[in-house]
Structure 1
Amino acid sequence: MNPRKIAVVAGSLSALLALTPQSAKAQQAAEPKRPSLEALQGIILDRAPQTNVAVVDHERISAKRIDIVGDDGTIRMTLAGNTPAPIIDGLQYKRAFDVAGMILYDAKGSERGGFGVADMPSGTTAVLALDHPAMDAAGWRVSADGSVMFVINQAPPLIRDPGLGDRLVPGVQTPTRIKLSVAADGTPAVSLADAGDQPRVRMTVTAEGYGAIEFLDASGKVVHVLAPERDQKR
């Protein structure tokens, strides 16, 4: 669960093959950055994680965990004081930090979202996420410092790796297209990003209390600001 996953720890990025500048550009456009196979191998906890229950109890309750299962025994929801590590396409990966809450799974047992309270070094954080097949899609985060953030990520391409048994590669790089946030000091912002994950339009309220829309170039530099009320008072 990413504002997760709150979940998979991304590793090193795959290298781009470059015979010529033109071929490198085409390769970059076709293949997004992703964790290397070695990095993924290093965070796999279980290559055959439990995704179903052989004998359904109708109410499987234990001291630390409750599983809700489908008619075929597949676990579709887990409520736990320490949620299980994320399962993606049949492999279980390390979670970045402990989360108490509820996890949702699809018909194949892969994590597709959840909500809970995360124990992070910076303090307790409340999180909620809904997932693409191998990556966060949208998520809320309420941080210990009082800041709040909501993000919507573009769906990454589905990549399979023979080294993972031809399973989906988690953590493939994808742009966060929309970000809504309120900083710890109360400053609100709405940001829209391009396909390169670079914010290009940002709406906010300045420290003086003026509404403003900022336009940014590909390097992140603000190239134009619309702030009618501020301009009228100059």
Structure 2
Amino acid sequence: MMTKAIHVARVIVLASMLSALPAAAQPAKRPGPSMELLEKIIADRSPETRVETVDHDRITAKRIDIVGDDGVIRMTLSAKTPAPIVDGIQYRRVFDVSGLILYDAEGSERGGFGVADLDGGSMAVLALDHPAKDAIGWRVAPDGEVSFSVNQAPALVREPQLGNRLVPGVQAPTRIRLNVAADGTPSVALADGNDRPRVRMTVTPEGYGAIEFLNAAGEVIHTFAPEAGGNG
């Protein structure tokens, strides 16, 4: 009985010691969603991740379409991608592109990537689209220039003579431009609502970091470059 009483006393003392530990010493709660929430969003605990037998070692085709259950084309891989479709109407593409095009549930083009064959050489391109205009775009030009742009969403304009469908090409400003010129000069420019660059960050040919402020006419009115002694 005495041994049992001593054991019980030790358990009580240990429990009181644990409860007195600071919060940091307590077992930490696992970060992330609970298992209960995970169970609600798990679609398959053993999804298919590989193909046991390859049907063909090589598929040769000029175009491959991936379609949804309703038959709508959601993705096209093509040596010459089809012209862009906006709200059910197809428009001429500015230049031919070989690559992959993505479509929304209505069959409108919403982005893609590929290679464009231009007179001066090939240009690698990637874009994700607003409903009727590019939203963001990457370009690697033939001369080595690399650019990235972010466009403000344009107003959604519908044309009664086209069955009240969306009109592509509605003007909207490019608010952010990231660029590495062919000579290696980097720049980041922020534009106002009228597509006029107002702030530009760059590195000078001497290697100094600089921030330039521009007026509506595109003139630099203030340069902040402490290392170069240009602060005003």
TM-score by length of 2: 0.73
2:191 maps to which of 190, 193, 203: 193
Quick one: which amino acid aligns to residue 172 of structure 2?
T
Aligned partner of 1:106 in structure 2 is 104
1:122 is displaced (CA, Å) by: 2.5
Aligned CA RMSD, in angstroms, stands at: 1.1
Partners of 2:99 and 2:176 in 1: CA distance: 26
1:62 is displaced (CA, Å) by: 6.9
Partners of 2:104 and 2:80 in 1: CA distance: 20
SS at match of 1:229: helix
1:120 is displaced (CA, Å) by: 1.5
Q: Deviations over 1:152-173 (max 9, x none)?
A: 0000010001122211010000
1:231 is displaced (CA, Å) by: 0.2
Aligned partner of 2:209 in structure 1 is 211
Partners of 1:215 and 1:228 in 2: CA distance: 15
Partners of 2:124 and 2:156 in 1: CA distance: 29
Partners of 2:68 and 2:60 in 1: CA distance: 18
The reply on whether 1:181 has 2:179 as its aligned counterpart is yes
Partners of 2:170 and 2:190 in 1: CA distance: 20
Aligned partner of 1:134 in structure 2 is 132
Partners of 2:161 and 2:195 in 1: CA distance: 28
1:179 is displaced (CA, Å) by: 0.4
Mapping of 1:1-234 within 5 angstroms?
63-231=61-229
Q: Which has the higher contact order (CA 8 A, sep 6+)?
A: 1
Structure showing greater Rg: 2
SS at match of 2:184: coil
In the superposition, relative to structure 1, how do residues 62 and 163 fare at CA in structure 2: closer, same or farther (>3 Å)? farther
1:218 is displaced (CA, Å) by: 0.8
In the superposition, relative to structure 1, how do residues 174 and 204 fare at CA in structure 2: closer, same or farther (>3 Å)? same
Q: Deviations over 1:40-87 (max 9, x none)?
A: xxxxxxxxxxxxxxxxxxxxx872000000010000000000000000
Q: Which runs of 4+ in 1 moved over 2 A?
A: none
Aligned partner of 1:36 in structure 2 is none
Q: Deviations over 1:69-124 (max 9, x none)?
A: 00100000000000000000000001111100000000000000000000122220
Partners of 2:116 and 2:159 in 1: CA distance: 30
SS at match of 1:177: strand
Which sections of structure 1, spanning at least 5 residues, go unmatched? 1-60
Partners of 2:202 and 2:75 in 1: CA distance: 38
SS at match of 1:219: coil
Which sections of structure 2, spanning at least 5 residues, go unmatched? 1-58
Give me the identity figure in percent. 72
SS at match of 2:229: helix
Quick one: which amino acid aligns to residue 203 of structure 2?
V
Partners of 2:72 and 2:140 in 1: CA distance: 31
Aligned partner of 1:34 in structure 2 is none
